Amino acid sequence: MSRRVLVLNGPNLGRLGSREPDVYGATSYAGLVETCRALGEQLGLDVEVRETNDEAELIRWLHEAADGAIPVVLNPGAFTHYSYAMRDAAAQKTAPLIEVHISNPYARETFRHTSVVAAVATATIAGFGLGSYRLALRALADELAP
């Protein structure tokens, strides 16, 4: 039996492949979904990947994860830097929650240097492109191992 994991993505992540490929790479969002699902299967995880541009929807998903003790890989996108509501929802976690970023926020504009979710996340992985998601899923598999 595999363990359910949610991979939650915030605004503009659905535009991967066309949005600033020099920063976010050329892989499409569909490619990200396939990468996460395939690796999850190898690791014994049932990975469900979601994306939204709606802060309220992301908060509802975080509540769903907390209520179900579901581990989360979270790329909050721009919500990272200012959404205290999303941060408060993430703080309610009842299973590991790993914050991920495709780029390294600290190597970019100053406003990206602050993450309101980092202090409540189990860990943060950033700067490895889509590899950030792969590293997060591997870390979750290790954390969830009996």
For the segment 88-117, what is each residue's pLDDT rounded down to a tens digit? 999 999 999 999 999 887 767 776 778 999
- Per-residue pLDDT band at 140 (split at 50, 70, 90): very high
Q: Is position 113 annotated in a ligand binding site?
A: no
Domain that holds residue 16: 3-144
**Catalytic machinery residues:** 24, 101
CATH assignment of the domain containing 127? 3.40.50.9100
Q: How many domains is the chain partitioned into structurally? A: 1
Query: Could you tell me the pTM of the whole model?
Result: 0.89
Nearest CA to 52 out of 71, 34, 79 is that of 79
Q: Is position 103 annotated in a ligand binding site?
A: yes
Q: Is position 81 annotated in a ligand binding site?
A: yes
pLDDT, position 40: 97
